[in-house]
Amino acid sequence: MLLHVVAGLIQDDTGRLLACQRPAGKHLAGKWEFPGGKVEEGESIDAALVRELDEELGIQVAPGASLTPVDHDYGRGPIRLIPMLCQVISGTPVAREHEALRWCSVAELESLEWAEADLPILAEWCALRRSRGEETA
């Protein structure tokens, strides 16, 4: 069965993107990812995003546009990773479930070791920024 996973792309007001490091002892430990998680049965993508970011980071967000979903299999069954732009309405992110959080410029994003399924999402996000003329931040 295809598992749907939502991933939130959060920018700060200087254009940096929030990256989160997966904790030790978990699948893909130490890799960087976007905050989010599995969409529960009967739950909308937007509702899953709002719930996961509240649970993981203690922030309230408004879901925005989605980027292109990525289908991937780490050998544990197929997943569909759904990237969603989102706006923080309230709160400041705190690493409740992650090893570390980092606000990253494009250069910093490229220096991290990402979960493989996130690579196409990062490429799309960087292309989107370039097309808006925001590539230098």
Q: Which residue has the tokens 């989010």?
A: 36
Window 20 to 39, contacts with ligand 8DG (CB under 6 A): 26-28, 33-34, 36-38
CB 99 within 8 A of CB 21: yes
Q: Which SS3 state, helix, strand or coil, does residue 73 take?
A: strand
Enumerate the β-bridge partners of residue 79: 3, 72
Q: Which of 5, 39, 50, 84 binds ligand 8DG (CB under 6 A)?
A: 5
Q: Per-residue x/- mask for ligand 8DG, residues 40 to 79, rule CB under 6 A?
A: ----------------------------------x----x
Q: Does 118 bind ligand 8DG (CB under 6 A)?
A: yes
Toward ligand 8DG, which CB reaches closer, 52 or 106?
A: 52
Q: Which of 10, 18, 49, 81 binds ligand 8DG (CB under 6 A)?
A: 81
Q: Does 112 bind ligand 8DG (CB under 6 A)?
A: no
- In the chain, the amino acid numbered 63 is P
Q: Rounded to the nearest 5 degrees, what angle is found at the Cα of 135, between the Cα atoms of 130 and 137?
A: 155
Toward ligand 8DG, which CB reaches closer, 25 or 133?
A: 25
Give the CA count within 13 Å in the CB-facing half-sphere of 70. 19
Expressed in angstroms, the distance from the first to the final Cα of the chain is 40
Q: Does 117 bind ligand 8DG (CB under 6 A)?
A: yes
Kindly state the tokens that stand for 107.
Answer: 């250069």
Binding site for ligand 8DG (CB under 6 A): 5, 7, 26-28, 33-34, 36-38, 74, 79, 81, 115, 117-118
